[in-house]
């Protein structure tokens, strides 16, 4: 059985790359699990993922926090907000399918867009929370 966090990340990645509105805003399938060295802006990076046991005395489960980063070439926030909106539409409360786990819920907790003075780019940060249970 695949680790619940890996199963969830695979489901998130699949939902994002299959979202035509997001791919259009990005100008292609530019969704990565690490910061690419040479990628045209805008793009998305699946960031930090934290998982904790959420089991009860009768059921197994895991709670997850997933960070999604957006990077935009524009110093204004509009491109960042457009990308974040499409990510939210693709993930928030959507019935994603995983290989070995039920994704009980997936919800956006917060998002922000801020200018990164070191890179001269807009950096968007989104945090999603999820609960998964193993399929029986």
- Residue 129: per-residue pLDDT: 98
Q: How many domains does the chain have?
A: 1
Cis peptide, bond prior to residue 42, ω within 30 of zero: yes
pLDDT range class, residue 128, cuts 50, 70, 90: very high
pLDDT range class, residue 119, cuts 50, 70, 90: confident
pLDDT range class, residue 103, cuts 50, 70, 90: very high
Could you list the residue range(s) of the whole structural domain that residue 33 is in?
A: 4-134
pLDDT range class, residue 136, cuts 50, 70, 90: confident
pLDDT range class, residue 24, cuts 50, 70, 90: very high
Torsion of CA 32, 37, 42, 45, to 10 degrees: 30
Q: Which helix (H) or strand (E) holds 109?
A: strand 101-116
Inter-axis angle of helices 78-91 and 4-17, nearest 10: 120
35: CATH: 3.30.2000.30
d(CA 77, CA 114): 7
> pLDDT at residue 56 above 80?
yes
Give every CB contact of residue 15 below 8 A, 6+ residues apart in sequence. 90, 91, 94, 96
Give the tens place of pLDDT for each residue, 64-82.
999 999 999 876 789 999 9
């Amino acid at each position: 059985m695949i680790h619940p966090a890996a199963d969830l990340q695979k489901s998130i990645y699949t939902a994002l790359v299959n979202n035509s509105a997001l791919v259009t805003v990005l100008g292609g399938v530019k969704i990565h699990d690490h910061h690419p060295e040479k990628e045209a802006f805008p793009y998305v990076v699946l960031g930090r993922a934290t998982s904790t046991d959420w089991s009860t005395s009768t059921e197994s489960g895991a709670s997850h926090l997933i960070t999604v980063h957006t990077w935009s070439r524009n110093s204004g926030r509009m491109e960042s907000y457009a990308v974040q909106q499409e990510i939210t539409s693709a993930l928030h409360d959507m019935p994603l399918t995983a290989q070995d786990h039920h994704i009980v819920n997936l919800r956006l907790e917060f998002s922000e867009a801020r200018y990164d003075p070191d890179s001269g780019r807009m950096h968007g940060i989104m945090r999603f929370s999820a609960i998964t249970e193993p399929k029986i």
